[in-house]
Structure 1
Amino acid sequence: MSALPLHSLSAATTAAAVEPDFGPKIGQALLSRNENPYGPAPSALRAISETAKMGCYYNDRGHAKLTAMIAERNGVTPAQVVIGEGSTEVLCAAALAWGRKGSILAPALFWDTTVQYAERQGIKAVRVPLMDDMSVNLPGMAAALDDSVAMVHICNPNNPTGMLIPPAELKAFIAQVSPKATVLVDEAYNELTDRPDDNSTIDLVKAGADVIVCRTFSKIYGMAGLRVGYAIASEENAGKIRSHQMSFGGNLGGLAAAIASYNDTPFLDQSRAAVLEAREMITGAVAKAGLTALPSQTNFVFVKVPDANALRDAMAASGISIRGAYGSLNGFSRVSTGKMEDVARYAAALPELSAKLWG
């Protein structure tokens, strides 16, 4: 078991007399939402507590400070950094800004909530089916690129598959398509990959390529509910994103937590170790159940099953929450890492339920 202290568990989640308003329900193993229950970091929690009394003020200086910190770490100017209410806001803003100029080209299966948002505003999206092995079809996307496309949108590692596009392949693809369309790369899970720096495309932004990279504090930092994310882009592209943002200034608690924990290396190391340990526990259970899973570089695993919805319902009956089918794709079940004791419940239940459901 991990030596990671469960510092972030509140009284509401450890011994609640009534159903909590946030987080898992009483007795529920919440493994369906790609959350990291080991955050926020102790440094972030202290910062939230210390700054809560300042919640009557707008957050210009805190916003500027976090912007400068992100810019310094990544070797860009503050004008190249856009902070949003989670990476969702900057992704949606980019989809709107570029979608008004042309269509958005994307894989058929990825975290497309932001593209769906753009579609509801009348913007067209073109989706390219994945390869047979469930990897992103880069050649197919390059072939689908024409003058009507304004933006190419990729999530790497991909969600829900968890698969990483090898950096050399992705960078070759970007070199091919970025002269014709802006490439938006959602790197929400980058810090959980084997080689985060090598797997990132921020170096292409710095080299002048027409690329936008989005990151979030929701995953490795364990701050999903505090809503802080950001984009790194050219100054011109950053300006376009800002022009389509719906909020300004940021959430005081989220900004304070992000500033305090952005460089909190001990917490980040512990957080990553806990995620990897839980992921290994899941893959071990998958093998024990006689199932297979796609290779994951994230805090979730995409397990191949005969019926994802049937497994979801059977797990739910035992108080374990996992994802069901993605649209018509009922042959894969996504399970997220979570508290060790909750992952252990899933690991114990999977072989038993698999045998019961499918023999």
Structure 2
Amino acid sequence: MSIELSRRLILTGAAGATLAGATRAVAAKKEEAFPPEALHLDHALLGPDDGIALLARNENPYGPSESALRMVEYAGKKGAYYPGQANITLAEMIAERHGVDPKQIVITTGSGEALSAIAVLYGPKGPIVAPRLFWDTTALYAARLGMAEIQRVPLTEDMGVDLAGIEAAVTGGTGLVQLCNPNNPTGLVSDSKTFKAAVKRMAAKTTVLVDEAYMELADDPDGNTCIDLIKKGDDVIVSRTFSKIYGMAGLRVGYTISSEETAEKIRGTAMSWIAGTGLAAAIGAYNDHAFLDFSKSKIIEARQTIMDKTASLGMETLPSQTNFVYFKSGKPANEVQKVMENEKIIVRGQYMDYTDWTRVSMGKLEDVERFCNFLPEAAGV
């Protein structure tokens, strides 16, 4: 069995995959948390076709903001040139908001590139310890290359991240701890005091990566973020993205905050160069608080609409602090997905063996209402 080497694998000096690595890659594929999307109706060049309610990707269809679009237009006119100082300018803006040095910021093509780079950096050092359900795509990137093994810790009975179980699994030989807070696909935020205390203790043994892609949507972003641990010198990496509340998933901009030393390692492993359009849009949107407040209000309104509907149908629903809801319909999620697709409504299918749990993203209010109106029929209730 062989594994195709990616450019990043070559750049990081990994000289080919062993048979054992290939075996790990196959095992990783079997343990993927995220199901494939059912997008058979989606033929548009960009985004969904007209008439399709795309509620599967955790996007914010109210974006990009006008402030971002003006900068995209400006960047397009400058498309003959490399971005120049845009990367530095954005890093300085992010650093100023969070009270860190710009050298601690790494801007990448979506947070996914940084997360993949981190998996490649730390995976060879030992297992990546993580919850059983989390956004595992980037950890699997390294696993498929034979460069990482994911050690999954089961969720608690109430579908929360088992911090005690994860901490117990961490040893001196652990390569990385990866957490997602709020978690995906559950939408749950861990208790701030408990979460930060556990992260701090684990960071004394190994690097802890906290994916905060949805943190701006949480009830208390400042109280829940782990950026303050980085400022105190703990071995923690926080990742953020412009794909969610900023509504810029197609423009591909994300970033990490860490120590300067760690940032330099991530920067040296990340492979691509961000387009000027994405950087410009991020600069334009970053401090557009009016748009951010508007987006959050629309997302919360849609989320409450769905949670009211599932409650009225007697469905168990997790208390989300994100732009998606994870609920137990009582019918296999793959069947719900298929029936919904027949009505041009796209939701996620089954995650691992969580058979009848469905994840639905927040879209425009009219699309969310379509979902709610059809849910009783799709779930057979």
User: 2:140 is aligned with what amino acid?
Assistant: Q
Among 108, 126, 141, the alignment partner of 2:166 is 141
Aligned to 1:326: 351
- The match for 2:301 is 277
Question: Which SS does the other structure have where 1:66 is aligned?
Answer: helix
The residue that corresponds to 1:349 in the other structure is 374
**Letter of the 1:233 counterpart:** S
Partner SS, residue 149 of structure 1: coil
Q: Paired residue for 1:255?
A: 279
Letter of the aligned partner of 1:42 in structure 2? E
Alignment of 1:42-53 (within 5 A): 42-53=66-77
Partner of 2:48: 24
Show the counterpart of 1:4: none
**Aligned residue runs from structure 1 range 131-280, under 5 A:** 131-248=156-273, 250-280=274-304
Distance in 2 between residues matched to 1:28 and 1:45, nearest whole Å: 24
Q: 1:133 to 1:46 in 2, by over 3 A?
A: same
**Do the aligned partners of 1:151 and 1:181 also contact (CA within 8 Å) in 2?**
yes
What's the offset of the Cα at 1:336?
0.4
Total equivalences in the alignment: 338
Q: CA deviation at 1:118?
A: 1.1
Mapped partners of 1:245, 1:102: distance in 2: 20
1:255 is paired with a residue whose SS is helix
Identity %: 52
Q: Which one is further off, 212-221 or 116-125?
A: 116-125
1:222: Cα distance to partner? Answer: 0.1
Give the corresponding residue for 1:340.
365
Question: Over residues 67-120 of structure 1, what are the superposed CA-to-partner deviations in whole Å (9 max), with x where a residue is unaligned?
Answer: 111111111111100000000001111111111222211111100001100101
Which residue number in structure 1 is paired with residue 341 of structure 2?
316
Judge conservation of contact 1:217–1:228 (CA < 8 Å) in 2: yes
Q: In 2, Cα distance between the equivalents of 1:144 and 1:291?
A: 33
Contact conserved, 1:104 with 1:151, CA < 8 A, in 2? yes
Task: Please give the per-residue CA displacement for 1:255-281, whole angstroms capped at 9, x wherever unaligned.
Answer: 110000100010000010010000011
Superposed CA deviations along residues 272-297 of structure 1, whole A, max 9, x for unmatched, are: 00100000111111112221211100
Residue in structure 1 matching 2:317, options 286, 289, 293: 293
Q: TM-score, normalised by structure 1?
A: 0.92
Partners of 2:371 and 2:73 in 1: how far apart?
Answer: 34
CA distance in 2, matches of 1:178, 1:121: 26
Secondary structure, counterpart of 2:86 in structure 1: helix
Determine the structure 1 residue equivalent to 2:88: 64
Partner in structure 1 of residue 130 of structure 2: 106
- After TM superposition, the runs of 4+ consecutive aligned structure 1 residues lying more than 3 A away are none
TM-aligned CA distance change 1:143 to 1:338, over 3 Å: same
Describe the SS at the equivalent of 1:60. Answer: coil
Range that drifts further, 101-110 or 185-194: 101-110
Q: Distance in 2 between matches of 1:46 and 1:172?
A: 42
Cα drift, residue 19 of structure 1: 5.5
Contact 2:318 2:325 in 1 (8 A): yes
Give the counterpart letter for 2:216 in structure 1. Answer: E
2 CA distance for matches of 1:110 and 1:52?
Answer: 36
Distance of 2:43 and 2:117 partners within structure 1: 35
Q: Deviations over 1:20-53 (max 9, x none)?
A: 3111122110001100000000110111112201
Unaligned 5+ residue runs, structure 2?
A: 1-41
Checking the alignment, whether the CA contact within 8 Å between 2:303 and 2:362 is kept in structure 1 is yes
SS class of match (1:283): helix
SS of equivalent to 2:326: strand
Q: Distance in 2 between matches of 1:178 and 1:74?
A: 20
Give TM-score scaled by structure 2 length: 0.87
Confirm or deny that 1:41 pairs with 2:71. no
Question: How do 1:2-13 residues align onto structure 2 when only pairs under 5 Å count?
Answer: none
Q: Describe the shift of the 1:91–1:19 C-alpha distance in structure 2 as closer, same or farther (beyond 3 A).
A: closer
CA distance in 1 between partners of 2:64 and 2:164 (Å) = 39
User: CA separation in 1, counterparts of 2:228 and 2:109?
Assistant: 24
Partner SS, residue 172 of structure 1: helix
